Amino acid sequence: MELCDFFKERGTDYKLPEQWYYVLYFCALAIIAKIGIESRSQRCTAMLLKYLKDKGVIDYRDEFIDKITVHKEKGKESEVDKREEARYSSCIKNDEVIKRYDKMILICKEAIYQTEEIIFSPNDFKVPEELLE
């Protein structure tokens, strides 16, 4: 999160979507690590989080999961797409990124808070049996 302020102050806006994405993605990795699962696939990590939420194993906002999801549908974007667009664009400064700055910082902070609630919860999270088969 400190890097976000650093990049904004220096006018390197193109780096911000990447930072936001990885804050959300690392939250996802921390949550699945809590239940003993390791993932090396961004697509699978998001799908697993959605599955765990739908099964009631975790309480995590859909918005956070959606932002790290790789969408196949045309016209549906996530932070994955915005990260790639900013990263591989020829622009260093990006007004659209700056317009989203406060909102994305808040979303990242909320995701970190919810992740901490899950990680430090005294509840025993278990991998659903159907995933072990």
- Identify the CA nearest to 65 among candidates 80, 49, 79, 43: 49
Strand, helix or coil for residue 68: coil
Q: How many CB atoms lie within 10 A of CB 111?
A: 25
Ranges of beta strands (E only) in 10-121 are: none
- Identify the CA nearest to 98 among candidates 21, 36, 11, 19: 11
Q: Radius of gyration (Cα) for the chain, nearest Å?
A: 16
Q: Tens digit of pLDDT per residue, the chain (133 long)?
A: 899 999 889 988 888 888 999 999 999 999 999 988 899 898 899 999 999 999 888 999 999 999 898 877 666 677 776 777 767 666 667 788 889 899 999 999 999 999 999 999 988 877 778 877 7
Q: What is the residue extent of each domain of the chain?
A: 2-124
